[in-house]
Amino acid sequence: MNPNTTDFNRGVVAPVECLKEGWKLIKNQYWLFLGICVVGMLLGSAFAIVLMGPMMCGIYLCLFQHMRGEQVSFDSLFKGFDYFGQSVIAMLIQAVPAVIIIIPVYLIMVFGMFASVATGSRGGEGAAMAGFFVTMIVVFVVIMSLSVVLGVFFMFTFPLIVDRKLSGVDAVKTSVKAAMANFGGVLGLLLLGALLSTAGVLACYVGAFFIMPITIAAHAVAYRRVFPALAQNFESPPPPGNWAA
């Protein structure tokens, strides 16, 4: 592997600037990218482990084509399946820490619910209701916080698979290293995106879909700041043997 494929810059992610550049990147073809992102995310969510990776690869593939001034069409989204094997491997790796974290959190939630029921059965309905809501709030905050932190570490995984042709394992490793070197900026970008998405949800929920292509484009901009485009004379390495396995 050419060492240039995993070189990255440090401390170069500015959340607000990335968001502005993300909007500037897609605004002339906003409706196309809206369709690409919505369809990609809906299909990916339907079969998360199997399809989310290829769909994310397809979305970033379209964004990188647009960055290079190439023509982007809707069917380019499905070229993400060219990276099916490695994107699924990356998704499986990402799922491991999520499961390890979520299981104990849900056990705490169940324990809290049973404790609330026991309190209510002894005549303390008010205390039981308050305990239940406190438990739910704590669980929600913990899950959201951990999701954001995990999102920071894995943020560059799928762009690396598409742009640098890394394997799923190498993409995850490189993403974690690059994210740690740009932790504050990446965290700020994810929090800013989450804030905008929450505002979109409050706007009859559909507003979140209209925000989605802008936030993903901002992630692509942040990626390109961290991983600059390779020189034109660089010959991309071929995909691993099990690329489409």
- Percentage of residues in the chain with pLDDT exceeding 70? 78
Answer whether residue 174 shows pLDDT above 90: yes
Report yes or no on 236 lying in a domain.
Answer: no
Report yes or no on 82 lying in a domain.
Answer: yes
* Tens of pLDDT, residues 153-170: 999 999 999 999 999 999
Question: 219: which 2 tokens?
Answer: 């992630």
3-state DSSP call for residue 167?
coil
Question: 191: which 2 tokens?
Answer: 């929090």
| DSSP H helical ranges for 68-167 | 84-121, 125-154, 157-163
Q: What pLDDT is attached to residue 215?
A: 95
Q: What pLDDT is attached to residue 129?
A: 67
Assign 238 a pLDDT band (cuts: 50, 70, 90): very low
Query: Read out DSSP for 180-192?
Result: HHTHHHHHHHHHH
Query: What's the domain count of the chain?
Result: 1
Half-sphere exposure of 134 (CA within 13 A, CB side): 10
Report yes or no on 235 lying in a domain.
Answer: no
Q: Looking at per-residue confidence, does 86 or 127 come out higher?
A: 86
| Whole-prediction pTM | 0.80
* Tens of pLDDT, residues 192-209: 988 888 887 777 667 788
Report yes or no on 163 lying in a domain.
Answer: yes
Report yes or no on 89 lying in a domain.
Answer: yes
What domain range includes position 40?
8-226
Answer whether residue 233 shows pLDDT above 50: no
Nearest residue to 39 via CA among 27, 25, 28, 51: 51
